[in-house]
Amino acid sequence: MAQAQRHDCEATAADCRFVIRSENEDEAIELLKIHMRDVHRKDCTDDELRRKRLQLV
């Protein structure tokens, strides 16, 4: 079974309840990039999101 990638935005932004969990890392990165850009007005690179935002679960 593949390991899932997870991001819980509430852990870093108390007013945001966004959570993503996916077994596909590329999908998780793409959805997280869109969320960060559209909701938090923050442009992030794929590598930055992998290092700082996603967790293996």
Q: If DSSP states are collapsed to H, E and C, what string results for the chain? A: CCCCEEEEHHHCCCCCCCEEEECCHHHHHHHHHHHHHHHHCCCCCHHHHHHHCCEEC
pTM: 0.81
Structure token pair of residue 57: 């679960």
- pLDDT digit string (tens) for the chain, length 57 residues: 568 888 888 887 778 999 999 999 899 999 999 999 999 999 999 999 888 888 877
Q: Is residue 34 part of a domain?
A: yes
Q: Is residue 39 part of a domain?
A: yes
Q: Is residue 33 part of a domain?
A: yes
Q: Is residue 57 part of a domain?
A: no
pLDDT at residue 56, as a whole number? 76
Can you give the residue range of the structural domain that contains 22? 5-51
pLDDT at residue 23, as a whole number? 92
Q: How many domains are there within the chain?
A: 1
pLDDT at residue 2, as a whole number? 67
Q: Is residue 31 part of a domain?
A: yes
